[in-house]
Amino acid sequence: MIFVIIMALVIVLLVFGYRVTLKTNHELTHFAYYDNLTGAYNFSYFTAYGKEKLKNRQACSVAVLNIRQFKFYNEIFGHDQGNRLLIYIKKVIEKNLKEDEFFAMILQISSIFS
């Protein structure tokens, strides 16, 4: 009888641990591949996706959008307004993408190319 109770507890703990691990892995994947401000894919996802496309020799195009003087915009209107602008830009781009297209927001691009 005690053996059955111990086995039931072990099974419950294993199932609970498995569910916690799945949830944690999902959260870590989200933090790794999505921008926390806008919810758009980030540079890590862009890199992984691009490597997969190149490895499979699939045709693809890359377009870059630079918001000129964005630092100045933040200084004049404040970071909250700058964040709202980034979220708005993400929504506009997302709304105009075709089904097989995606985009990634790569913030602080100067640090990437330095």
Q: Which domain holds residue 1?
A: 1-33
Asked whether residue 45 falls in the same domain as residue 81, the answer is yes
Asked whether residue 82 falls in the same domain as residue 62, the answer is yes
**Does the pLDDT value for residue 114 go beyond 50?**
no
Asked whether residue 53 falls in the same domain as residue 85, the answer is yes
Q: Is the dihedral of CA 26, 31, 32, 38 positive or negative?
A: positive
Query: 3-36, pLDDT tens digit by residue?
Result: 888 999 999 999 999 999 999 998 998 889 999 8
Asked whether residue 15 falls in the same domain as residue 69, the answer is no
Judge contact between 40 and 103, C-beta under 8 A.
yes
Q: How confident is the model at residue 95 (pLDDT cuts 50, 70, 90)?
A: very high
Helix (H) / strand (E) element for 102: namely none
Asked whether residue 102 falls in the same domain as residue 48, the answer is yes
How many domains is the chain partitioned into structurally?
2
Asked whether residue 16 falls in the same domain as residue 44, the answer is no
Q: Rounded to 5 degrees, what are φ and ψ at 104?
A: -130, 140
**From the centroid of its chain, how far is CA 97?**
17
83: which DSSP letter? Answer: H
What CA–CA distance (Å, rounded) separates 34 from 88? 16
pLDDT at residue 108, as a whole number: 64
Asked whether residue 67 falls in the same domain as residue 87, the answer is yes
CA Rg, the chain, in Å? Answer: 21
Q: Rounded to 5 degrees, what are φ and ψ at 83?
A: -65, -40
User: What is the CB-side half-sphere exposure of residue 88 using CA atoms within 13 A?
Assistant: 7
Asked whether residue 54 falls in the same domain as residue 102, the answer is yes
Asked whether residue 17 falls in the same domain as residue 43, the answer is no
